[in-house]
A and B are shown apart, each in its own frame.
Chain A
Amino acid sequence: MKNRTLSALFLLAAPLALFSGCKKDSDTPEATSTGSVNFTVQNVVPNTNVVGVQPPTPLVLNSSVATTSTGETFTVSTFEYYLSNIKFTKSDGTTYAAPDTYFLVDQATAKTLSFTVPNVPTGDYTGVSFIVGVDAQRTGLTNPLDFTGKLEALNQAYNMYWTWNSGHIFLKMEGTLTSTNPTKPLTCHIGGWGNNSTPNAIVTATPAFGSNKLTVRTDKAPTIALQANVAKLFDGPNPVTLSTFMGAHMPSAQSVQIAQNYAAGMFSVTQINTN
């Protein structure tokens, strides 16, 4: 009871702390004009109610049923991941890498489902990319006591950290596999940054803009609506058969395969609003 109150308090405090990490960043050398880019994230499960291609439906923890391409089903109780190293691309191929962008998206905490990248040079952008997870520099080489301020999202207190094998958990999905009889718990903790030549699960997602364009102006803060389809953890370049899946709890070759899956197909840009 006490514990639950405490963790509830913490969950409320977490996003506040998280957003306090992305205030003004005025160390851009040139005096270029800048604007902000907002992101919203909607986690979804594929829609299998109707035959044919239907838009996915929002993920509701402990309730929505996610179906893989082979028809296996699962429900989700925890879904958290890092989005970091956000980079914007212009049509001429030049890029802007937003410094110190680390966001922890947690389906259980509404406030983490949107965030803002400030100080993006004004211009028209045609693409975005981000690491789903944390770069090796920060997870592996930065003094682990430095996860405060701009790096607050990386703080070990968010419980996205392996204490026995120092490094962040990039993505955490916990739930129940419901297509087996009996059902069985599903644990998918993905991480590993290549230290000691171990498997490296640091992957970059580049969800296409399609015909959308991102227009950054000093007086315009556009919003990129991202969608993340949880079923894609197990579909894509490396399909995973859940009935025989032992779970992922540590850096491993299979964790890397799952990371490749979510890099390839989990994220899409559904809309870009320019206010």
Chain B
Amino acid sequence: MAAPSPKTWVRQPLGWLLLAALVAVGSAAVAHWRQPAAAAVLLAPPANFPAPVYEVAKNQPNEAAFELGRMLFYDPRLSSDGRVSCGSCHQQARAFTDGQALAVGVAGRRSPRNSPALQNLAWHRSFMADGGVRGLELQALAPLTSAQEMNTPLAEALAKLNANPEYRRRFAAVYGPGKIDTPQFLKALAQFTSALTSTNSRYDQYVRHEPGGALSADERRGQALFQAKCSGCHATDLFTDESFRNNGLDTAFPLDSGRAHITLAPTDAGRFRVPSLRNVARTAPYMHDGRFQTLPDVLAHYAYGVRPSRTLDPLLRQPDGRLGIALTEVQQREILAFLATLTDTELLTNPRFAPPAARQETNPRGMQLSAN
């Protein structure tokens, strides 16, 4: 049976029915498409995850807002020299780190800290290695305005966006007509950053007994060692308890006192937020200042390199008075094998999180400003 030509079938009642059905199916598909897949993770986290901390209800997942957030995240025009975007320091293939010990911002300036992975941010109670920032939306203001990073005052960023017809159109489509303001800008960015979830590593599939979720004998031994020796801090399947700890990097902390920078408490000197270890095989170099190039270096630190100070975490003082974590060479290798199972290619390769390439090409010369 040959399909009727459009001309004939719309004239028939059956044709109209068919059309109506198509429209219905189509709009259902659109509705589904408007709610990004990543949002599902926030709304109904996988079995091995707790409920997110981020109040999703205050920034309802929305595909157009997510796309807007992605455009902002990858837009270097928000930096003072037009060269640095969030994506410069947070690159997808590296779990949104940058491979540098200390992040590089406008004019080659160095940040005081290492770019951390951006993943599962909706589960964070505080942000930054010292926990100084209290919310995901607020967090974006730090790199935007920092002289070492993007070096653009918020008011200037808003003026740039408001002077750009494409941004005006896209913001209006999501938030309604009017000027692009602080909440709109920060919420749009957070639509993107909160969607950067990592929940599907081989380890996750293993603990959830999903197909493909097999660990080798070495990896399982590594997991058991990790449980015994690391999970006191890198706890739960988020691989952090979100506390601030001194893991024995130095004996004194004159350059970066970590948590004490915020609390001013001497008892917090040298304590840094316990980072997640998801995708850790991709996030070298390591620690708040990027001092370790490789994971074997990190394990060697815990095994032989832990240095004493008043705030050194008690978990790193062994009963016999020795510092660090007792780990043989073999055990270190097994832990390394386990850590590799935390790599989540979905986060690292999902094209939804990649730069919106086409758009960058059509507008290569930067934002048109109203005045010059």
The reply to whether the CB of A161 lies closer than 8 angstroms to some CB of chain B is yes
Contact of B133 among A2, A10, A159, A163 (CB under 8 A): A163
Q: Nearest 8 A-B pairs (CB), nearest first? A: A5-B371, A163-B141, A145-B183, A166-B134, A165-B132, A163-B142, A6-B159, A10-B155
Question: A2 near B145 (CB under 8 angstroms)?
Answer: no
B72 → chain A, closest Cβ, in Å? 15
Contact of A10 among B138, B156, B261 (CB under 8 A): B156
The reply to whether the CB of A252 lies closer than 8 angstroms to some CB of chain B is yes
Question: B153 near A155 (CB under 8 angstroms)?
Answer: no
A134 to B134, CA, bound (A): 17
A181 to B263, CA, bound (A): 35
The reply to whether the CB of A196 lies closer than 8 angstroms to some CB of chain B is yes
State the main secondary structure of chain B at its contact with A: helix
Contact with B along A116-157 (1 / 0, CB 8 A): 000000000000000000000000000111111000000111
Chain A residue at smallest Cβ distance from B157: A157
The reply to whether the CB of B264 lies closer than 8 angstroms to some CB of chain A is yes
The reply to whether the CB of A273 lies closer than 8 angstroms to some CB of chain B is no
Please report B residues at the A interface, Cβ cutoff 8 Å. 58, 80, 128, 132-135, 137-138, 141-142, 144-146, 153-156, 158-160, 181-183, 186-187, 261-265, 369, 371-372
Question: A161 near B141 (CB under 8 angstroms)?
Answer: yes
**What are 23 A-B residue pairs whose CB atoms fall within 8 Å in the complex?**
A1-B372, A2-B372, A3-B156, A6-B155, A7-B155, A10-B159, A145-B182, A145-B187, A147-B183, A156-B141, A156-B154, A157-B154, A157-B155, A157-B158, A159-B154, A163-B138, A164-B132, A164-B146, A165-B132, A165-B133, A165-B261, A165-B262, A197-B263
A9 to B156, CA, bound (A): 10
Question: B264 near A6 (CB under 8 angstroms)?
Answer: no
The reply to whether the CB of A33 lies closer than 8 angstroms to some CB of chain B is no
Chain A residue at smallest Cβ distance from B126: A166
Please report A residues at the B interface, Cβ cutoff 8 Å. 1-3, 5-7, 9-10, 143-148, 155-159, 161, 163-166, 196-199, 251-252
Question: B183 near A148 (CB under 8 angstroms)?
Answer: yes
- In the complex with contacts A2-B372, A145-B186, A164-B132, A158-B155 CB distance below 8 A: yes
B298 → chain A, closest Cβ, in Å? 26
- In the complex with contacts A145-B182, A157-B155, A198-B263 CB distance below 8 A: yes
Chain A residues in 8 Å Cβ range of B262: 165, 196, 198
Chain B residues in 8 Å Cβ range of A3: 80, 156
Chain B residues in 8 Å Cβ range of A143: 58
A161 → chain B, closest Cβ, in Å? 7
Chain A residue at smallest Cβ distance from B156: A6
B175 → chain A, closest Cβ, in Å? 12
Chain B residues in 8 Å Cβ range of A9: 159, 371
A165 to B133, CA, bound (A): 5
Question: B159 near A144 (CB under 8 angstroms)?
Answer: no
Chain B residues in 8 Å Cβ range of A199: 264
Chain A residues in 8 Å Cβ range of B133: 163-166
Question: A196 near B263 (CB under 8 angstroms)?
Answer: yes
Chain B residues in 8 Å Cβ range of A197: 263, 265
Chain B residue at smallest Cβ distance from A5: B371
Question: B371 near A159 (CB under 8 angstroms)?
Answer: no
A89 to B90, CA, bound (A): 54
Question: A148 near B155 (CB under 8 angstroms)?
Answer: no
Chain B residue at smallest Cβ distance from A166: B134
B302 → chain A, closest Cβ, in Å? 28
- In the complex with contacts A6-B156, A163-B142, A148-B264 CB distance below 8 A: no
A221 → chain B, closest Cβ, in Å? 30
Chain B residue at smallest Cβ distance from A165: B132
Question: B181 near A148 (CB under 8 angstroms)?
Answer: yes
A157 to B138, CA, bound (A): 12
Question: A145 near B371 (CB under 8 angstroms)?
Answer: no
Question: A156 near B371 (CB under 8 angstroms)?
Answer: no
